[in-house]
Amino acid sequence: MASPAKVDLITLGDELLLGIRENSHLKFIGGELARHGLALRRNTSCRDTRDEIIQAFREAWMTADIVITTGGLGPTSDDNTREVIAHCLGLELDFVPEIEETIRARFDRMGRTMSENNLKQCYLPRGAELLPNPYGTAPGIYLQLEGKRLFMLPGPASELRPMFKEQVLTRICADGFCSLDDAYLQIRTMGVGESALETKLLPILNANPDVQVAYCAHQGMVDLRLSLDSMPIDFERLRAVGDECREVLGPDFVCFGHCHLAKAIFNYLRAHERTLSVAESCTGGLLSNAFTDIPGASKVFAGGFVCYSNESKMEMLGVPECILQQHGAVSAECAVAMADGAAERLGTDYALSVTGFAGPCGGTPENPVGTIYIGYHSPLGSWCVRMVRPGERTTVKTLAVNRALDVMRRKLHKYNLGEALACECKAEEAEVAE
């Protein structure tokens, strides 16, 4: 393979720049390309206005080999990507009756009538190829011109994602720009900061100067991705370096790959035919959700209690009133009673519980906002871990969930269950709420 293709992504839409919508296409498309060995060079998000689209498109088209645009193919008046880019390239737009038929049929199936403004979506730049959209009304557009490739995709994620995998990735893999194999080895760690991690792994990485490494800290975890300059990737070599890192990291090593912490626990419990329940207060459902995001969760996960008040802790979990009175709901005693109660109510082998002050209100001098108690029930006994991590409410909740999962993972690891936990899981399986 020659030098890697330059791929630029242009994400269009005022809503991206005005804080209305997350630019989730960047993460998705960047991740898919990286997994197959093609690094996205640049992403430009620009507004729906003609001038901005022209500028962003011209810059990308001038130097990139592949340009992907998202958005602006819809039926409303601010959707004009098709028109502006066709103009930029000096191409006429042709009305394609087949597109109209497809859209009308789709509306019929939904029992709705097509609006006249949907007719905008039936035009195609001359010489372009239609990318059928079975998931929505706006078809995509594919064009080869001047030795470059242009893919225009609709904005909604539920349409773009399958279309990207089925129609874009397959085309650029077939054209030799990237491979269907994995192109890097990711090591997921938890419990060690980014710079301490770099320091810890420096001897290994210095001894392997051809191995490139990228770090990313997120939600209490730090991922590092090992890759090599040369293609195709010598995966055995990467894995050997990865194994050295794992040795040094000890229990801070979570897995190779993209596994969510919950998935690592799920894999272990499933392999050992053990069950789990959850009781949570301040995380409000997110701990349960971490497990229920896993397809087939019910094989391990029996259920979760979201008990927000003292009454619900007593009613749902049988937490003794005297514990709540003497120690309060945010206490080690309550966390353990919650975990024990959940395990007992649902007859599970293991249970995890979380209680704490997520903020902005609540908190006491001993347990300020950001204080979380994590309870862990297992066949070997029950434990509690306390953490304090002030911050925004939603951040505290996410960190508390990950810390609770990590407490359980480490306990399992301690009893020499590391091998079962450090499973490799396909990135596809791990597309959970990260």
**Residue 32 is a binding residue for a copy of itself (CB under 8 A):** yes
H or E segment and range at residue 119: none
Tell me phi and psi for residue 306, to 5 degrees: -105, 100
Binding segment for a copy of itself among 125-133, 143-151, 300-308, 371-379 (CB under 8 A)?
300-308
Tell me the per-residue interface mask from 242 to 271 with a copy of itself, x by CB under 8 A, - otherwise: ------------------------------
The minimum distance between CB 419 and a copy of itself, in angstroms, equals 26
The sign of the torsion formed by the CA atoms of 201, 429, 348, 285 equals: positive
CA nearest to 355, candidates 342, 340, 378, 374: 374
DSSP state of 18: T
Whole-angstrom distance, CA of residue 350 vs CA of residue 182: 35
**Residue 295 is a binding residue for a copy of itself (CB under 8 A):** yes
**Alpha helical stretches, state H, 13-155:** 14-17, 24-35, 50-63, 81-88, 97-109
Whole-angstrom distance, CA of residue 418 vs CA of residue 423: 9
The minimum distance between CB 102 and a copy of itself, in angstroms, equals 16
Cβ nearer to a copy of itself, comparing 196 with 240: 196
Neighbours of 274 (CB within 10 A): 16
Distances (CA, A) of 403 to 249, 287, 348, 384: 18, 10, 21, 12
> What's the distance, CA 16 to chain centroid?
19
Binding segment for a copy of itself among 32-40, 85-93, 243-251, 377-385 (CB under 8 A)?
32-40
> Which residues in the 329-348 window bind a copy of itself by CB under 8 A?
345-346
The minimum distance between CB 421 and a copy of itself, in angstroms, equals 22
Whole-angstrom distance, CA of residue 255 vs CA of residue 429: 14
**Residue 351 is a binding residue for a copy of itself (CB under 8 A):** no
Judged by CB under 8 A, the number of residues near a copy of itself is 103
The minimum distance between CB 43 and a copy of itself, in angstroms, equals 4
Distances (CA, A) of 313 to 298, 371, 376, 407: 23, 18, 16, 22
Burial class (CB in 10 A: 0-12, 13-18, 19+), 158: exposed
The minimum distance between CB 180 and a copy of itself, in angstroms, equals 17
The minimum distance between CB 358 and a copy of itself, in angstroms, equals 8
Looking at residue 199, its amino acid is T
Tell me the per-residue interface mask from 91 to 130 with a copy of itself, x by CB under 8 A, - otherwise: ---------------------x--x-xx------------
**Residue 21 is a binding residue for a copy of itself (CB under 8 A):** yes
The minimum distance between CB 122 and a copy of itself, in angstroms, equals 14
> Which residues in the 50-79 window bind a copy of itself by CB under 8 A?
52, 56, 59, 74-78
**Residue 4 is a binding residue for a copy of itself (CB under 8 A):** no
Binding segment for a copy of itself among 82-90, 242-250, 263-271, 387-395 (CB under 8 A)?
387-395
Give the 3-state secondary structure of residue 49: coil
Tokens of 319: 């937490």
For a copy of itself, which residue of 167, 179, 208, 395 counts as binding (CB under 8 A)? 395
Whole-angstrom distance, CA of residue 279 vs CA of residue 285: 9
CA atoms in the 13 A half-sphere facing the CB of 262: 29
For a copy of itself, which residue of 265, 400, 422, 432 counts as binding (CB under 8 A)? 432
CA nearest to 144, candidates 116, 125, 117, 163: 125
Binding segment for a copy of itself among 170-178, 232-240, 310-318, 376-384 (CB under 8 A)?
310-318
**Residue 287 is a binding residue for a copy of itself (CB under 8 A):** yes
For a copy of itself, which residue of 1, 22, 232, 326 counts as binding (CB under 8 A)? 22
Cβ nearer to a copy of itself, comparing 167 with 417: 167
Cβ distance 84 to 57 under 8 Å? Answer: yes
> Which residues in the 357-376 window bind a copy of itself by CB under 8 A?
359-361
> Which residues in the 160-179 window bind a copy of itself by CB under 8 A?
161
> Which residues in the 183-242 window bind a copy of itself by CB under 8 A?
193-196, 198-199, 214-218, 223, 225
Cβ nearer to a copy of itself, comparing 140 with 156: 156
The residue assigned the tokens 């330059």 is: 6
